[in-house]
Chain A
Amino acid sequence: MFIYEKKLQYPVRVSNKDVRMAKAVLNQYGGADGEASASMNYLTQRFSMPLNETKGLLTDIGTEELGHMEMVATLFKKLIQGATRDELIAAGMGGYYANHETCPFLLDSDGVPWSAKYTQAKGDPVADLYNDMAAEQKARATYEGLIVLTDDPLVKDTLRWLREREIVHFQRFGEGLRLVEEYASNKRYF
């Protein structure tokens, strides 16, 4: 069961609206390597984990990623809120506005809808954990791209914090992988 807590995991602040940045940030919401993909990956894969350590890890990181979806959606909303018609059109967000107004939607920056194809669950813990480590590195790289795209120190602060979490998760998944490999080498389960 999941219980909502009415607060963000880390504050999200912006100095000014910035529609172009809102568009770029959408990648981390509904993009291939975004927070929705991460959360759905981990919360699904946990059902085939052989160890309690990795069941816990995937549950807890998958839950944290739900909180990151909320942070990214909040960042999007704050960046696009109050934009004028000309600003929306100039940023290439006219079509988006016609469809969703200023509501965050599960698309990447090019308008490609989120898909379960972005997730993996092989039922094999070694394959899944390698996949998850790669996913964290891809998300880190995306955050680094986003940090380059803005001069707003408040937006950079939120993005840097999210980037840092990818590194922590990568570390923990690596430890989880080591535990699973030790377990597999002691027990032939195929």
Chain B
Amino acid sequence: MIRRNNLINEEHLMLLDIQKLEFAIYDLALFLDTHPNDPAALYRHKMLTEQLMQLKHVYEANFGIMSVMGHELGDTWRYIDSPWPWDK
């Protein structure tokens, strides 16, 4: 039970990090839509997307894919079994 709770907590914290990164990236993307040549925003977007890709890879390997385009490495379709956002 303790192990299970730790896993849930770990999943929660990693998901929060992904949410933070994706939010920053999305907000930069909106800025870049109207400032497509801004070097600072382009640089930050590049750095954060690299971080996001790495983190998502670790998350999906451990807890199942978050989109149907992710690669499920296990032998069951965990996508449907992890809690849905409105059930958490």
Contacts and interface: CB of A to CB of B under 8 A. Distances in A.
A6 B79 contact: yes
Interface string A38-68: 0000000000000001101100110010000
Interface string B67-88: 1110000000001001011100
B23 A9 contact: yes
A78 B86 contact: yes
Contacts of A61: 30
Interface residues of B, dominant DSSP: helix
B31 A172 contact: yes
A53 B34 CA distance: 5
A77 interface: yes
B69 A3 contact: yes
Nearest to A63: B26
A45 to B, nearest CB: 14
A61 B29 CA distance: 10
A4 B68 contact: yes
Interface of B: 15-16, 18-19, 22-23, 26-27, 29-31, 33-36, 66-69, 79, 82, 84-86
Given A6-B67, A7-B18, 14 more contacts: A6-B85, A7-B19, A53-B36, A56-B33, A57-B34, A60-B29, A60-B30, A64-B30, A70-B85, A70-B86, A74-B85, A168-B30, A172-B34, A176-B34
10 contacts: A4-B67, A5-B66, A6-B82, A12-B85, A54-B33, A60-B29, A60-B30, A78-B86, A176-B33, A176-B34
